[in-house]
Structure 1
């Protein structure tokens, strides 16, 4: 759907585990819609933080959320690649973005465990990759609050 011009502000939340394809999708959508893509992992690296530093990640994500709100208040489409493993966080972002008059999408990238482990294994071999061990990936899988059909109904239909 290249060349789609969204009517008004929009927030796109990308929900998924490491290796699910969030960044790949976000890059494509940013070009097609167009939209501003905010990726905490990239900001963590650019600012010199360890990607696994939870305190730094919280601060970066909070700052990106303030930037997202400012952009939406100016009518922009914003993509957040945080992963959004927790339902409460997804609900909070939906409510706050809607209070700004923005439509809100939730894109859940469901990928089989086998495929996730294969993708992450390949990515671990890339220079500069943040290595995610199979044990850590299993912990991530156990932590994900998978969006239900009922929850997905609370969000706006996707563009593009």
Structure 2
């Protein structure tokens, strides 16, 4: 089966107008590839991306430099408003966030349920070695804002993987080839 016919079949199933909208929560540590995969998935899902990093940037904040818990709560409230608005319009949403700790995932799951939306978690599982290499490469190329060593260490220490939550696990060591996108689309089609 060709790439276009596979994508067409998956797209038809995932974004059928007869089905409820879909909220996809990207989950993983910084530099695992969540934003890259979200951008690759969005066109096939016809989904809007809501990025907590973008919300913070619009507020003049940057999580990689450290943000207070109070400011993160404000950012989450803004993201919730945006996600609820998209879901109310029947739009699919990809939420680009770390999705940790677990209570954050539970909150998004409840928001989807309340909105009558389907819900899925896409977990980009990255090992510390690869994450460190990506962070170092970013510091040289400056493709995105830096994450301080202190913030990164705290992030690693407190991250709660979505074990036992029916998450779609993606090996972050893979690039984002067609096969990865197709695999995630196929898994989401059952949500």
TM-score (norm 2): 0.73
Aligned counterpart, 1:44? 56
Counting only pairs closer than 5 Å after superposition, residues 65-80 of structure 1 correspond to structure 2 as 65-80=80-95
Aligned counterpart, 2:159? 144
TM-superposed CA distance for 1:74, in Å, is 1.6
CA distances 1:44-76 after superposition (whole Å, capped 9, x unpaired): 223322433333333122111111012112211
Aligned counterpart, 1:86? 101
Aligned counterpart, 2:148? 133
Q: Please, which of 1, 8, 21 is the counterpart of residue 9 of structure 1?
A: 21
After alignment, is 52-61 or 97-106 more displaced? 52-61
Q: Please, which of 90, 103, 122 is the counterpart of residue 107 of structure 1?
A: 122
Cα distance in 2 between the residues matched to 1:19 and 1:63? 23
Which blocks of at least 5 consecutive residues in structure 1 are unaligned? Answer: none
CA distances 1:77-106 after superposition (whole Å, capped 9, x unpaired): 111112111111111211221121100000
TM-superposed CA distance for 1:141, in Å, is 1.2
Is the 2:55–2:79 contact (alpha carbons within 8 Å) kept by the matching residues of 1?
no
Aligned counterpart, 2:188? 158
Partner-residue secondary structure (3-state), 1:104: strand
TM-score (norm 1): 0.86
Is the 1:61–1:82 contact (alpha carbons within 8 Å) kept by the matching residues of 2?
no
Aligned counterpart, 2:3? none
Cα distance in 2 between the residues matched to 1:45 and 1:99? 28
Aligned counterpart, 2:110? 95
Larger radius of gyration: 2
Cα distance in 1 between the residues matched to 2:27 and 2:134? 17
Q: Note if 1:24 corresponds to 2:36.
A: yes
More helix by share: 2
Which blocks of at least 5 consecutive residues in structure 2 are unaligned? Answer: 1-5, 168-186
